[in-house]
Amino acid sequence: MFAAEENVDFRIHVENQTRARDDVSRKQLRLYQLYSRTSGKHIQVLGRRISAKGEDGDKYAQLLVETDTFGSQVRIKGKETDFYLCMNRKGKLVGKPDGTSKECVFIEKVLENNYTALMSAKYSGWYVGFTKKGRPRKGPKTRENQQDVHFMKRYPKGQMEIQKPFKYTTVTKRTKRIRPTNPS
């Protein structure tokens, strides 16, 4: 018999899997707005310029969030402009037409207060943040506990998430046949 290890810590495995992109996970695309806690408005990707001055339902505030890893690494693209939200080496938030570089990848962190913070995958400890006037803050001047980096995910005005009901089947011991449940 094998001796089971009692205190197995999977955090290192999860951390390693989160860092590397994989070809096994399905790419997920979600459409939502990111509401800034400090400016009281939504993040906008206006081509190369980024701001947090968007009204609810504004076409530039609609963001496509791509996830293609095991963990919580995301790329954020403006639906209207097709520019990606990126952080350059000086910590400035910029829009780029090509989101393949590591500068355009962020780690999504859900905080204790249920807000979301976006940390740069390339520059650890640098967060996406905005001032009260909706201007971007530089990465080196941000910390996870600052309100400037707290965001709330919201669906665009008048649009709830369109999700098809999950279809599954049941198998009973008696019949061993697969029966679809609630065919619609």
For residue range 93-150, list pLDDT tens digits in order: 999 999 999 999 999 999 999 999 999 999 999 999 999 999 999 999 999 999 999 9
Inside any domain, residue 115: yes
Cβ–Cβ < 8 Å for 106, 75: yes
Provide the β-strand partners of residue 8: none
Inside any domain, residue 178: no
Structural domain count of the chain: 1
Inside any domain, residue 88: yes
| Burial of 83 from C-beta contacts in 10 A (0-12 / 13-18 / 19+) | buried
In this predicted structure, what is the pLDDT of residue 182? 65
Cα distance between residue 167 and residue 155, in whole Å: 24
Answer left, alpha or beta for residue 82, where phi above 0 means left and psi between -120 and 50 means alpha: left
Tell me the mean pLDDT in the region 147-170: 70
Three-state SS at 154: strand
Inside any domain, residue 3: no
Query: H/E element holding 19?
Result: helix 11-19
Whether the pTM exceeds 0.75: the reply is no
Cα distance between residue 50 and residue 138, in whole Å: 12
Cα distance between residue 10 and residue 18, in whole Å: 12
DSSP state of 103: G
CATH of residue 107: 2.80.10.50
Inside any domain, residue 181: no
| Mean pLDDT rounded to a whole number for the chain | 82
Inside any domain, residue 8: no
Inside any domain, residue 148: yes
Cβ–Cβ < 8 Å for 75, 82: no
Inside any domain, residue 184: no
Strands (E) in 22-168, as ranges, are 28-36, 42-46, 49-54, 63-67, 73-78, 84-87, 93-96, 106-110, 116-120, 129-130, 136-137, 151-154
- Closest C-alpha to 71, from 115, 117, 13: 13
Condensed to tens digits (0 to 9), the pLDDT of residues 9-29 reads 666 655 555 555 555 556 788
Tell me the mean pLDDT in the region 52-79: 89
Cβ–Cβ < 8 Å for 138, 92: yes
Residue span of the structural domain in which 120 resides: 14-159
In this predicted structure, what is the pLDDT of residue 163? 47
In this predicted structure, what is the pLDDT of residue 59? 92
The pLDDT-based confidence of 155 (bands split at 50, 70, 90) is confident
